[in-house]
Structure 1
Amino acid sequence: MQLKINPSRSLKGEITVPGDKSITHRAILFALMAKGQSCIRHPLISGVTSTMLSAVEMLGASYFFEGGDLFLTSPGLFELNPPGEPLDCKNSATTMRLLAGVVSAAGITAALDGSDGLRRRPMNRIVEPLKRMGVQIDAAEGGQAPLKISGRSPGQNLKGLHFESSVASAQVKSCILLAGLAADSPIVIVEPALSRDHTERMLRSLGVQIETTWKRGCSLVVLQPGGNAFLRPLDLTIPGDFSAASFILVAALITPGSEVILRRVGLNPSRTGLMVTLQEMGADIQVLDQWEEAGEPVGDIRAAYSKLRGGSVSGQRVVEMIDEFPIFAIAASFAQGATEVRDASELRLKESDRIRMLCAELSRQGINVSERTDGFTIFGNGIAPGGAVAEPHGDHRLAMSLAVLGLNAQQPVLVSRAHILAESYPEFPEVLLALGADVLSLPEENSIGGQLG
């Protein structure tokens, strides 16, 4: 599928974005660890969560959907089945890293594998700390997938751990915490910055003793294992995904005359760095109401067309918007003045090398952008020429970002291989249409890299 996005009139309306991908992942895994039936309301139903559900089914769980809600029944963490074949994580590093933590806690033998792209992602980040906890785990050469985890004797606990991570990674932290539920002593994780804390919040809501503090310029997380509180079945509602909301937010900000309201969006402070940064750049974004669900702050957001000015992002703010840089770059392209991103070299290790691919695709659309090892600078003048065929390089976030650019480009933008957006936001084209965008789905053609006629 290709998406042709023509310069559009104003976007107007109210929407509810899909359930948060990160929280849906964790809810499925906690339901897997619980004994009995759990109910997960408003989950994200997409390619990446389907991958996780297929994996938990191989571990002995069963599930069904009813009215958009997910009901999952599991035998419990210590009764999971060793899978007869590798758990296929497809292209999802989150699935692989978090499942590795659960399999390690369960003490069963399992192999985890995935796509060629996933096999290029760094897995030593979880292999080394898991080994220090007593997990028998092996990776391919270079510390990459596939992973092989060997079972341990019944009643044998894992060891506690004091781990100082060189990067702030919610996936690494969550893997260790999930494995740590079967440890015989505390788990201490030190990060150079505060990564997203959905796992800690969910553990706390289930009665697990876990504390997070900021000490000497580092984030410190301490898990006290013991007890069976985490084995209680879940009944929770997933907030709307802020990352999905960000595409609609920026679409409203860059399209003249637009005003959009997004309902029930997750507002976890470790995720909303994009919103704060855009407000600093002059964006008209308001949180209309705010409440809490399942330990997570949730609220309604209003966004309206704004004349943005250039800005800068570095340090802790990078961690708080690590998944939003593709769409942030689109906002920066329409801003007046230079926007600089530093300390973001982690972007090179995502579904694609997001720095290189993002800069290449922006240049193709006529944007003045300069690439650096740890980021980029966009020299915005309020105008995006557009008119080129865009290639998302297998990256769902890049696909949606390039589509948003087309809403106010001078010429249409054609996003090739746009089927990839189903990984996280299958309804994205229909949502844009409902808000008034001029979007057309077309069959795939071999026109990648050219100009539109």
Structure 2
Amino acid sequence: MKLKIANKSNINTKVSVPGDKSISHRSLMLAGIASGQSRVSGLLEGEDCFSTLKCMEKLGVDITRDNSGTYIVNGVGLNGLKEPADILDCGNSGTTMRLLSGLLAGRPFYSVLTGDRSLNSRPMDRIITPLSKMGAEIWSRQQGLAPLSIRGGNLASINYNSPVASAQVKSSILLAGLSTKGITYVNEPAQSRDHTEKMLKAAGVDIEINDNTIKLNSSGQPELKPLDINIPGDISSAAFIIAAGLITENSRILIKDVGINQTRTGVLDALKMMGAELTIKNKRVSSGEPLADIEACSSNLKAIEISGSLVPRLIDEIPLLALLATQADGDTIIKDAAELRVKETDRIKAISSELKKLGAEIEEYPNGMKIKGNTELKGGIEVDSFGDHRIGMTMAISGLIARNGIIVNNSESIDISFPDFEKLINNL
């Protein structure tokens, strides 16, 4: 599929973005193992989240959608999950595979998880190692690649020092920890997004957060309580619309009801460092998650360095920040982001390759890149998403300022996280 984007300016509008993908995944899983009926509103109706939904249904959880887009999840309890009669297809979703592996590691039955070509090329040893130490039997292809076969049950608690700051790794261990009779610790080198911890606490789980250490006590753990969840707009999706407002001339865009969890707002911090004209309005809390309206206006950006503890808080937005860096005054440096090499595609290589087609000057490093600013982007050409939704959306935003716009090939991948993205961008 091809997505054609025209050059734009003078945008003045108010929009909303789809529900947060991370929270959507977790809400389906935790509601599924709660004891009783949960209500999930604002679920991201994208391919990744539907992969989680279908997997939970194969595990015996009844999930229905009402006319308002709200999902009713009839939880079966942690011990009520059933051995699946078929392979669990996680599609393109790393969150589905890694978190479900943790959940299934504690269940006394056999299951197999697979995904598409992209997912089956991504590293799973980062969860296989801790889950195996807890007592799960897990088989994989060489180098820890999916498909994964899991025979769970009889887990022991663990005190695990994670080599990476990864919410997926942390969440996988915590979900496995629910099936132990002790105290599970996860220690991270830096804080990653904390949606799992917030949701577990809301469900009545004894969990504590102390800096970069999470403690989960499942001794005598009661059943998880049903949840009533209102999912805020995804800040990772909102970031693309914010970028549109910042780099197009004479523009002002208001994005309504966006989640501003502090473990996810690294992109806002980076943009403010760059001199972006951003206003956060109407702050409030819903279902334990902070949200607000965000206004972005045309801005004169300056180059910065993105590195260290900031990186885990904006890892998904780095390709977009690379685009913005081409319009900033000076040379932007991005470091400590080797994790981008093992996403849906090698995002450092992909974004460097496609922005260079537009005339950007980028020096690629093993763990980041250097981007020259004040660059006029040429258009009227075709670029590729490489089947990666975030690369596809970043290149679409570049078309707003490229001469004669651009065409993004393989743009169907965008539906993974942002259904109706094409309609929203073309209607700005």
* TM norm structure 1: 0.92
Question: 2:400: which partner in 1?
Answer: 407
Cα distance in 2 for partners of 1:49, 1:372 equals: 32
Cα distance in 1 for partners of 2:248, 2:174 equals: 43
5+ residue gaps in structure 1? 436-453
Cα distance in 1 for partners of 2:152, 2:250 equals: 59
Q: Determine if the alignment matches structure 1 residue 367 to structure 2 residue 360.
A: yes
Question: 1:58: which partner in 2?
Answer: 58
| Shift, 1:79, TM fit | 1.5
Q: Determine if the alignment matches structure 1 residue 320 to structure 2 residue 304.
A: no
The question of whether the paired residues in 2 share the 8 Å contact of 1:59 and 1:82 is answered with yes
Question: 2:329: which partner in 1?
Answer: 336
The question of whether the paired residues in 1 share the 8 Å contact of 2:59 and 2:84 is answered with yes
1:41-440 equivalent positions in 2, closer than 5 A: 41-66=41-66, 67-152=68-153, 157-214=154-211, 219-229=212-222, 231-435=224-428
| Shift, 1:47, TM fit | 0.6
| Shift, 1:384, TM fit | 1.6
Pair 1:151–1:277, CA change in 2 (3 A): closer
Question: Which ranges of 4 or more aligned residues in structure 1 deviate by more than 4 Å?
Answer: 227-230
SS in 2 for 1:420: helix
Deviations 1:27-73 (A, max 9, x none): 00001101332110111001111111111110001212111111122
| Shift, 1:205, TM fit | 1.6
The question of whether the paired residues in 2 share the 8 Å contact of 1:363 and 1:369 is answered with yes
Equivalent AA in structure 2 for residue 169 of structure 1: S
SS in 1 for 2:44: coil
Q: What is the aligned length?
A: 427
Q: Please, which moves more after superposition, 102-111 or 141-150? A: 102-111
Deviations 1:192-238 (A, max 9, x none): 11111110111112221211122xxxx11111113455522211101
Pair 1:28–1:228, CA change in 2 (3 A): same
| Shift, 1:383, TM fit | 2.1
Cα distance in 1 for partners of 2:134, 2:398 equals: 46
Cα distance in 2 for partners of 1:125, 1:151 equals: 17
Deviations 1:217-271 (A, max 9, x none): xx11111113455522211101110000000000110001110111110001111
Deviations 1:134-179 (A, max 9, x none): 1122222111111111144xxxx42110101111010000000001
Cα distance in 2 for partners of 1:426, 1:149 equals: 32
5+ residue gaps in structure 2? none
Deviations 1:422-447 (A, max 9, x none): 00001111112332xxxxxxxxxxxx
Question: 2:24: which partner in 1?
Answer: 24
Q: Determine if the alignment matches structure 1 residue 11 to structure 2 residue 11.
A: yes
Cα distance in 1 for partners of 2:281, 2:228 equals: 27
The question of whether the paired residues in 1 share the 8 Å contact of 2:94 and 2:119 is answered with yes
Pair 1:15–1:374, CA change in 2 (3 A): same
The question of whether the paired residues in 2 share the 8 Å contact of 1:90 and 1:115 is answered with yes
The question of whether the paired residues in 2 share the 8 Å contact of 1:32 and 1:61 is answered with yes
Cα RMSD for the two superposed structures: 1.2
SS in 2 for 1:286: strand
Work out the percentage of aligned pairs sharing the same amino acid. 41
Equivalent AA in structure 1 for residue 186 of structure 2: I
The question of whether the paired residues in 2 share the 8 Å contact of 1:365 and 1:387 is answered with no
Deviations 1:65-120 (A, max 9, x none): 11111112232221111011210111111100001111123332111111121111
